């Protein structure tokens, strides 16, 4: 039972956080400067990460941060791109349920290729069929928007 929890709590966390994220990103896109609002986002994120770090037994945050690999900075740039893109996507007028589905399906397709090319992951017939079905559904959703 514990391994089942360990497997699924992160998924539940991502789903809950992403729903909250999408609602907040939609609200940020109107009324305030999106980049200033994202600055507040990063300050809150830094405070939450520091609190979790110490709450989970961390002792020396600065020392541990000094050992972070370049990939951590890459994630920082990627997260900034995700957030700026989402906020401006909503600012441009995309509906939440259409914009999110569109970019998520495109990410799935891109990661299928990245996984195969960079990591040698197998691409099964079922995965390709799923990609075709997903692309067809994505086209129908965007076309109907």
Give me the tens of pLDDT residue by residue for the chain, a chain 145 residues long: 678 888 999 999 999 999 999 999 988 878 789 999 999 999 999 999 999 999 999 999 999 999 998 999 999 999 999 999 999 999 999 998 888 888 888 898 899 999 999 999 999 999 899 889 988 888 888 888 6
**Domain boundary residue among 92, 110, 134?**
92
Residue (of 46, 45, 56, 57) closest to 20 by Cα position: 45
Residues 12, 64, single domain; the answer is yes
Say whether both 2 and 56 belong to one domain: yes
100 contacts: CB under 8 Å, gap ≥ 6:
22
Structurally, the chain folds into a number of domains equal to 2
Does one domain contain both 59 and 103?
no
Positive or negative, the CA dihedral 63, 68, 73, 76 is negative
Pair (38, 85) in one structural domain:
yes
* 36 and 26 fall within a common domain: yes
Same domain for 75 and 6: yes
Residues 86 and 106 in one domain: no
Closest of 98, 104, 108 to residue 143, by C-alpha: 98
* Token output for 145: 């928007």
Report the b/e string of 60-78 with b at 16+ CB within 10 A: eeeeeeeeeeeeeeeeeee
Q: Are residues 75 and 127 in the same domain?
A: no
Query: In this structure, are 17 and 85 located in the same domain?
Result: yes
Domain that holds residue 133: 94-145
Same-domain pairing of 78 and 118: no
Residue 30 DSSP code: T
- Say if residue 81 is in the same domain as residue 106: no
Q: What would the two tokens of residue 119 be?
A: 């990591």
What per-residue string of b and e applies to 17-56 under the rule 16 or more CB within 10 Å gives b?
eeeebbeebbebbeeeebeebbeebeeeeeeeeeeeeeee
pTM for the whole structure:
0.78
Q: Which of 54, 69, 92 lies at the terminal end of a domain, its last residue?
A: 92
Q: Looking at the structure, do residues 30 and 5 belong to the same domain, yes or no?
A: yes
């Amino acid at each position: 039972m514990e391994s089942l929890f360990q497997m699924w709590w992160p998924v539940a966390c991502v789903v809950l956080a992403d729903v909250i994220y999408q609602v907040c990103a939609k609200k940020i896109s109107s009324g305030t400067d999106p980049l200033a609002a994202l600055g507040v986002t990063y300050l809150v994120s830094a405070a939450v990460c520091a609190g979790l770090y110490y709450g989970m037994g961390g002792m020396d945050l600065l020392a541990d941060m000094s050992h972070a690999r370049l990939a951590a900075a890459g994630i920082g740039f990627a997260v900034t791109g995700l957030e700026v893109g989402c906020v401006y996507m909503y600012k441009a007028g995309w509906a939440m349920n259409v914009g999110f589905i569109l970019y998520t399906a495109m990410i799935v397709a891109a990661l299928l290729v990245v996984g195969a090319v960079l990591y040698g992951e197998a691409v099964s017939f079922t995965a390709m069929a799923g990609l075709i079905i997903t692309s067809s559904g994505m086209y129908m959703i965007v076309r109907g928007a």
